Amino acid sequence: MKIPNYREIKAKTVVFDLNGTLGVEGRVNEEVKRLLDALSEKYRVIVLSADTFGTLKEEFKGIPIKIERVRDGEEKMKKALNYEPYIGIGNGNNDIGMLENAELGICVIGEEGASVEALLNSDIVVRDVKDAIKLLLNEKRLIATLRG
């Protein structure tokens, strides 16, 4: 996708954080799951998480996405780099490297908030992960946000 007076985004993979980004306390609501299912028709979808609440596998049953456990932000960044170029979506300090190295970084300020460093290492900031997914499902929204 070419964004006028910005750059071309070539990513075919979207890498998500779970806690604070896709869900709260390890739980993902049904609307987000439906949006992820739709997004998986357009992009390869990856969820990288430390699985703090032990819900990672259960929450994504039946959704065609790849899930991977990570120990910390350093490992999350290294795993994300395996999918370059990618779009990164996160909210916390352990997402900074993933967001910084993404072709397009989206910071989600949801119920759990977002770290300042995650915010500063992102290209776009949204108030809810549904907004981030909808930007990717309707690229004209993304173009309207980023064009120069």
What tens digit of pLDDT does each residue of 59-84 get? 999 999 999 999 999 999 999 999 99
Which residues form the domain of 20?
A: 2-106+128-146
Q: Tell me the CATH number at 80.
A: 3.40.50.1000
3-class DSSP state of 7: strand
Residue 76: inside a domain: yes
Let me know: does 89 contact 16? Beta carbons within 8 Å. Answer: yes
**What is the total count of domains within the chain?**
1
Residue 146: which H helix or E strand, with range?
helix 139-146
Q: How confident is the model at residue 102 (pLDDT cuts 50, 70, 90)?
A: very high
Residue 111: inside a domain: no
Residue 70: inside a domain: yes
pTM for this structure?
A: 0.96
Residue 122: inside a domain: no
Let me know: does 21 contact 110? Beta carbons within 8 Å. Answer: yes
